[in-house]
Amino acid sequence: MRETTNAAKSTDHKGGKDNADRVIIFDTTLRDGEQSPGASMTLPEKLKIAELLDEMGIDIIEAGFPIASNGDFECVHEIAKRAKNSVVCGLARAHFKDIDRAGEALKPARAGRIHTFISTSPVHMKYKLRMEPEAVLEAVTASVERARKYTDDVEWSAEDATRTEHDFLCRCVEAAIKAGAGTINIPDTVGYTVPEEYFNLIKMLHERVPGADKVIFSTHCHNDLGMAVANSLAGVRAGARQVECTVNGIGERAGNAAMEEVVMAINTRNDVLPYWTGIDTTKIMRASKLVSSITAFPVQYNKAIVGKNAFAHESGIHQDGMLKHTQTYEIMRPESIGLTESSLVMGKLSGRAAFGAKLKELGYELDDASFQDAFRRFKDLADKKKHIYDEDIVALVDDHFQDPEQGVKVLSLTVIAGTSGPQKATLTLEIDGRHETREATGSGPVDAVFNAIKAIVPHDARLALYQVSAVTEGTDAQAEVLVRLEEENFTSMGRSADIDTLVASARAYVSALNRLINRRKKAKPEIAAAL
């Protein structure tokens, strides 16, 4: 890894804006976001997300936790090789073996950061670390110094900072700064703080810690009380200049501060939040959809900025106002986040060039093989469905991005349903190249399909969610199916869309099953438990 300057200090003076007001956006979708129950991603999926984050102006991409598994190491290493603009970051506990592994993973980075952390709250030190405060303090210095052997760009985090005694937090932050950390992160690990309190905490650290003016303070707020974004912005008002966040706010438990909310709040309310970021906001919608489809985590309909209803006006009074002037009820333009009018696109006569142009307009860049596959499936869909909308194309392409590492695939399905039961499914799966067919009955056609899958691939996972929604209007709409499976410590999500609800159901179930199998193979429980 080449020596790098701290990203915060290297920000440029853009369009007359003052660098002192620049807020660095540190995206941890691929690390903290992946810690959402069921949100595990494969390497190609993570690369796809990282590529978009890099393109849209994310300053720092936290790509993983290299010591956690070979998969995480490989992911950080590969993103480090590929990122063109963003600093790539690897997480490490305060252990030398973690830090060395992160340093190794980041070697090819144009600009790499090691992010090392240790808990500082009484409850974490006593029960989780079983360490005395003085030993924690020593570990702070030792870990930061070790990380500085690999890069100039070191971030140190006080895990559970918001429940840490102030005097001790000040001592730890001072030690980290003295040892060479350029960024000091103050996580609200358990989503416990409130804006006023978090503001005062960041302000207190600025005022009391020697050397605080030489480093960048960072926020990292979890959303357990629904205040992650408000707390992060309070931190910025108190002087923090880095916000750690995730696309769609995914993350442990209730998630992290949502990147799109932080960025759009700063853009929209610049009168009271006079800061700026380097994010190309027109790519926000694309990032939201990509993360949602890859993780199979649906975005709640009324989610701020990227929810399906965020720009929809249903009531007569609102619609009337909107028709007279958009600013009556709209505080942001939908185009500013890359939301375009849903349009009727193409039919079965549309050719490759038109399809390619549409993909580009929707923000997709596919390699040749993926393009050919998407085009073939578009033609299949156009044979069955008269009107094809942008949403249909998005569902079709996103299906392709779903677990490319499929060990199990749905080859064919026939279902007998109706009033005269029992409902019966005949299913053929391909498992690592081998074909297997089974018949199964069930209480309804969906149950019959899932029973057929279980007959071919026996497993104990429990079906925790089965959800169907229509991608567009009309009785010929594609059905989008979400499936969540739970098994001991693992949860996995699967998503698929098809004109046939039962085919989409089978594919979504199999996708969740593939993820469960992959996750089982990769897991290193002792590391997961340490987080």
Binding site for ligand KIV (CB under 6 A): 32, 117, 157, 159, 185, 187, 189, 220, 222
Pairing of strands 408-416, 423-431: antiparallel
| Phi, psi values for residue 251, rounded to 5° | 155, 180
Half-sphere exposure of residue 441: CA atoms within 13 angstroms, side-chain side = 5
Helix (H, G, I), strand (E, B) or coil at 68: coil
Residue positions counted in the chain: 531
**Among all chains, which residue has been given the structure tokens 């249903």?**
314
Residues 94/139, Cβ–Cβ less than 8 Å: yes
Report the alpha-carbon distance of residue 266 to residue 245 in Å, rounded: 14
Between 91 and 461, CB nearer to ligand KIV: 91
Report the alpha-carbon distance of residue 439 to residue 366 in Å, rounded: 37
Q: Residue 300 Cβ, how far from ligand KIV at the closest point, in Å?
A: 22
Give which of Zn ion, ligand KIV, none residue 93 binds (C-beta under 5 to 8 Å, depending on kind): none
| DSSP string for residues in 360-396 | HHTT----HHHHHHHHHHHHHHHHH-S-EEHHHHHHH
Query: Residues in contact with Zn ion, total (CB under 5 A)?
Result: 1
Between 215 and 413, CB nearer to ligand KIV: 215
Q: Which residues pair with 435 in a beta bridge?
A: 430
Residues 222/255, Cβ–Cβ less than 8 Å: yes
Residue 155 binding Zn ion, by CB under 5 A: no
Give which of ligand KIV, Zn ion, none residue 223 binds (C-beta under 5 to 8 Å, depending on kind): none
Between 32 and 498, CB nearer to Zn ion: 32
Q: Residue 527 Cβ, how far from Zn ion at the closest point, in Å?
A: 15
Burial class of residue 525 (count of CB atoms within 10 Å of its CB; 0-12, 13-18, 19+): exposed
Name the segment binding Zn ion (CB under 5 A); options: 25-33, 315-323, 389-397, 420-428.
25-33
Between 254 and 304, CB nearer to ligand KIV: 254
How big is the chain by its Cα radius of gyration, in Å? 24
Distance of CA 526 to the CA centre of its chain: 23
Between 223 and 478, CB nearer to Zn ion: 223
Between 160 and 391, CB nearer to Zn ion: 160
Between 51 and 224, CB nearer to Zn ion: 224
Residue of closest CB approach to Zn ion: 32
Between 86 and 119, CB nearer to Zn ion: 119
Report the alpha-carbon distance of residue 347 to residue 73 in Å, rounded: 44
Q: Residue 442 Cβ, how far from Zn ion at the closest point, in Å?
A: 41
Q: Residue 101 Cβ, how far from ligand KIV at the closest point, in Å?
A: 15
Name the segment binding Zn ion (CB under 5 A); options: 29-37, 118-126, 129-137, 197-205.
29-37
| Phi, psi values for residue 260, rounded to 5° | -65, -30
Give which of ligand KIV, Zn ion, none residue 159 binds (C-beta under 5 to 8 Å, depending on kind): ligand KIV
Q: Residue 239 Cβ, how far from ligand KIV at the closest point, in Å?
A: 19
Pairing of strands 112-119, 154-159: parallel
Burial class of residue 360 (count of CB atoms within 10 Å of its CB; 0-12, 13-18, 19+): exposed
Residues 19/275, Cβ–Cβ less than 8 Å: no
75 DSSP 8-state letter:
H
Residue ranges in 392-411 that form contacts with Zn ion under rule CB under 5 A? none
Q: Residue 30 Cβ, how far from ligand KIV at the closest point, in Å?
A: 13
Q: Residue 415 Cβ, how far from ligand KIV at the closest point, in Å?
A: 45
Q: Residue 46 Cβ, how far from ligand KIV at the closest point, in Å?
A: 17
Angle between helices 70-82 and 43-55 (to 10 degrees): 30
Between 157 and 248, CB nearer to ligand KIV: 157
Q: Residue 195 Cβ, how far from Zn ion at the closest point, in Å?
A: 18
Report the alpha-carbon distance of residue 114 to residue 93 in Å, rounded: 10
Name the segment binding Zn ion (CB under 5 A); options: 28-36, 211-219, 460-468, 505-513.
28-36
Give which of Zn ion, ligand KIV, none residue 141 binds (C-beta under 5 to 8 Å, depending on kind): none
Q: How many CB atoms lie within 10 A of CB 367?
A: 8
Among 27, 32, 398, 480, binds Zn ion (CB under 5 A): 32
Q: Residue 446 Cβ, how far from ligand KIV at the closest point, in Å?
A: 38
Between 32 and 261, CB nearer to Zn ion: 32
Residues near Zn ion, by CB under 5 A: 32
